[in-house]
């Protein structure tokens, strides 16, 4: 399957998710749509990247909240659940205990860097788009990593990150 085909399938899944979400809200998109616009404005007005990641939007809790919005607006929730059943990608509700912030960031910008145990076929098919490193601003990526790192529910079975070559867990 070509990379373009995989990306087209991914985008179709995201579109279908948005349609179902709209139907759940009586045919109108939920208030989240407005928040995405607000997120973009915050990022556009943010000071230079030489300042700490949390300084322009407040506390680290604010950064995590922004990351949760990015998780939805970037389409991550189209393939990943936080606490529910596995969809296209692994459940991420305990990823903060499974991987470091550095590993999570690397996986987002370079999906081939690691694979999740039990998702070897999806990893070989390159289902996760490799465009997030270019698509997301530095602030959005920082926020997304902060959010994912904050997910530490040991009741959720988030699979470990594996080295794609050795198939052994990476810590």
Q: Tell me if 170 is assigned to some domain.
A: no
Tell me the HSE value of 107 on the side-chain side, using a 13 A CA sphere. 28
Per-residue model confidence (pLDDT) at position 126 = 86
Q: Tell me if 41 is assigned to some domain.
A: yes
| Contact (Cβ atoms closer than 8 angstroms) between residue 66 and residue 39 | yes
Q: List the alpha helices (DSSP H) in the chain.
A: 3-24, 32-45, 60-73, 95-98, 101-109, 120-124, 132-135, 138-150
Q: Tell me if 14 is assigned to some domain.
A: no
Q: Tell me if 168 is assigned to some domain.
A: no
The total domain count for the chain is 1
Per-residue model confidence (pLDDT) at position 43 = 33
Q: Tell me if 19 is assigned to some domain.
A: no
pLDDT along the chain (171 residues), means of 10: 59 53 43 33 34 49 95 93 83 95 96 91 86 94 96 94 91 75
CATH of the domain at 98: 1.10.760.10
Q: Tell me if 6 is assigned to some domain.
A: no
Q: Tell me if 169 is assigned to some domain.
A: no
Per-residue model confidence (pLDDT) at position 56 = 43
Segments forming the whole domain that contains residue 70: 31-162
Burial class (CB in 10 A: 0-12, 13-18, 19+), 2: exposed
Flag whether the pTM goes above 0.85: no
Per-residue model confidence (pLDDT) at position 13 = 58
| Length in residues, the chain | 171
């Amino acid at each position: 399957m070509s990379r373009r085909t995989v990306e087209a399938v991914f985008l179709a899944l995201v579109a279908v998710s948005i349609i179902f979400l709209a139907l759940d809200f009586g045919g109108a998109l939920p208030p989240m749509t407005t928040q995405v616009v607000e997120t973009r404005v915050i990022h556009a007005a943010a000071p230079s990247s030489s300042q700490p990641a949390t300084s322009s939007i407040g506390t680290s809790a604010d950064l995590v909240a922004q990351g949760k919005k990015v998780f939805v607006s970037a389409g991550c929730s189209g393939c990943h659940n936080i606490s529910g059943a596995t969809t296209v990608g692994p459940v991420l509700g305990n990823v903060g205990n499974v991987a470091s912030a550095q590993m999570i960031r690397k996986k987002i910008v370079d999906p081939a860097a690691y694979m999740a145990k039990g998702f070897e076929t999806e990893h070989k098919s390159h289902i996760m788009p490799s465009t997030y490193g270019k698509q997301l601003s530095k602030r959005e990526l920082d926020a997304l990593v902060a959010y994912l790192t904050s997910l530490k529910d040991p009741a959720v079975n988030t699979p470990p990150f594996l080295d794609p070559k050795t198939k052994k867990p990476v810590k």
